[in-house]
Amino acid sequence: MKMRIVVIGANAAGAKAASKAKRINPKADVTLIDRGSFISYGACGIPYYVSDTVSDIKELMSTPVGVVRDAGFFKKVKGVNVKTNTEVTRIDREAKVVHLLETNTTEKTFLEYDRLILATGSSPFIPKISNVNLQNILTVKYIEDAELLKNCAISGDTACIVGGGLIGLETAEALQQRGMKVTVIEMQEQLLPGVLDQEMAFLVEKQLRLQGVSVMTGCRVTGFTGMKTVEKVIIGERELPADLVVLAPGVTPNSGLARAAGIDIGITGAIAVDARLCTNDPYIYACGDCCEVTHLITGKKVHIPLGSTANKQGRVAGINAAGGEATFSGVIGTSILRVFNINAGRTGLTETEARANGYDIETVLSPAHDKAHFFPGAKPIVLKLIAERATGILLGLQAVGEGVVDKRLDAAATAITFHATAEQLSQIDLAYAPPYSAAMDNIIVAADIMKNKLAGHGRGISPHEVMRKLDEEDDFILLDVRSSAEHAEIGIEGAKLIPLGMLRERLNELPQDKEIVTFCKISLRGYEAQKILDAAGFKNTKYMDGGILAWPYALRTK
């Protein structure tokens, strides 16, 4: 008798699981079920369709050679049966049966299985606030959302994005490019909360503001007003006009079907699975956004829904359901986005997460160009490297800038996955030629700075901490060691200028009993200034990490 494998959910994880199961066990009867009309589409591409970067919506549902991945494609090419517009209403684990309801009819049927794979995905989080069901309040998750959002994006109208995460910012760009006046509202004190630390997120926020997008952080939306269609967004006592609202505060795992069947749910609210992606029922697997995963650094269970993870998990679940052996070890939270001219991403733990997990850490901010500075087209990027102080083991990297950041993130993701130290990263043999990087790539420089800090040679202080000191009027000297021309172009209010080349002869201008924080463009000269001051007997010297290029507080410059 043929093995019967049923997969619930026909997007990234489910489509991959069904296809892989059929390849592993060609004699198996594999059925893929989805409650929607469209299957196996790239939801992450929706903002790019809205902005016309992707011209045809079919491209989000097609193979690289242009074949649409519909039910006919899966039957003919993959050998997988597909049931669309079909809701799974119940799982009977004892009888090994799933109960079905065709959404366009009232017909109820059932399907028997030997192995079941849950790939039910996630749903947009809809806040429980007044009038959230008004027309033109949309989400960005399903293929149907793409057409609706594009039709509502009218040039000259106003749009509010509720949520300053990855999807929220990508959608903000898409709507702004269609001529809308866009405001991003985030209840946390920064954009990209949980993705970047504050000083890195501020660099992204500066770019949005430069492009004409209004940004409101630390603001909670409490409701909407309008007759049938949304007209205003309510933020406490304030109201903002809005012809279109996009809800993008995050997603929640679709674990209800599993929960009702008695399948274990983890501490994150997603389905609990082992390394083989098997649930507490040995005949049922789960993969993709509906299940939780292990964080490879902390060892804790997390819910980090990404299409890349879903595809990898779908492959593992399909292999195991078909009788093979495969494992999925976990994730380190790598993510990336492009918004206007800025690329931003992270891998591993942020500083905030590392401290929350009890790590004693050191951090580095390292600005540089993404290729040799003299090569045409070289653009700036800022890296933030995080390592455990006692061991030097790398814990995380963040990267923001107009230049190429993905390859630095990928190199760091590899290093972090294999528990590399700053010493090992500093010696890694990266590809070099002027069109691609500097001879000492920024990630190598960041690792060297980290080594200096861990060894006690360099004592850095973050721009955020410098800002705090300025705001609280701490008794310290902020010393700018750039040239007079650089200082005149852009500076930090309250800083004292002594160019590095004059520092040795002007040491008498600096008091020995005060804290001195030095900086330059990227703080290479700032570090050299700190060493000069140390040698001259100054006892309390530091340099500002990242220099002026990492200074995100535009209002404090002159």
The catalytic position among 44, 219, 278, 290 is 44
For residue 527, what is the enclosing H or E element? helix 524-535
Active site residue 44: yes
> What's the CA angle centered on 425, arms 326 and 528, to 5 degrees?
155
**Residues 292/257, Cβ–Cβ less than 8 Å:** no
Instruction: Give the 3-state secondary structure of 74-114.
Output: HHHHHCCEEECCEEEEEEECCCCEEEEEECCCCCEEEEECC
The Cα–Cα gap between 357 and 351 comes to: 10
**Residues 375/396, Cβ–Cβ less than 8 Å:** no
The C-alpha torsion from 14 through 17 and 18 to 19, rounded to 10°, is 120
Instruction: Give the 3-state secondary structure of 272-325.
Output: CCCCCCECCCCCEEECHHHECEEECCCCCEECCCCHHHHHHHHHHHHHHHCCCC
Instruction: Give the distance from CA 296 to its chain's centroid.
Output: 17
Q: Is the dihedral angle over the CA atoms 432, 434, 439, 440 positive or is it negative?
A: negative
Give the SS3 label for residue 478: strand
The Cα–Cα gap between 310 and 300 comes to: 19
User: 151 — alpha (psi -120 to 50), left (phi > 0) or beta?
Assistant: alpha
The Cα–Cα gap between 42 and 158 comes to: 27
191 Cβ neighbours under 8 A, 6+ residues apart: 164, 169, 184, 201, 204, 205, 208, 215, 217
The Cα–Cα gap between 399 and 385 comes to: 9
Pairing of strands 214-217, 223-225: unpaired
**Residues 172/181, Cβ–Cβ less than 8 Å:** no
Instruction: Give the distance from CA 176 to its chain's centroid.
Output: 21
The Cα–Cα gap between 69 and 67 comes to: 6
Give the SS3 label for residue 500: helix
432 Cβ neighbours under 8 A, 6+ residues apart: 438, 439, 441
Extract the tokens encoding 532: 């000069």
| Residue of 361, 381, 359 lying closest to 370 (CA atoms) | 381
Residues with a known catalytic role = 44
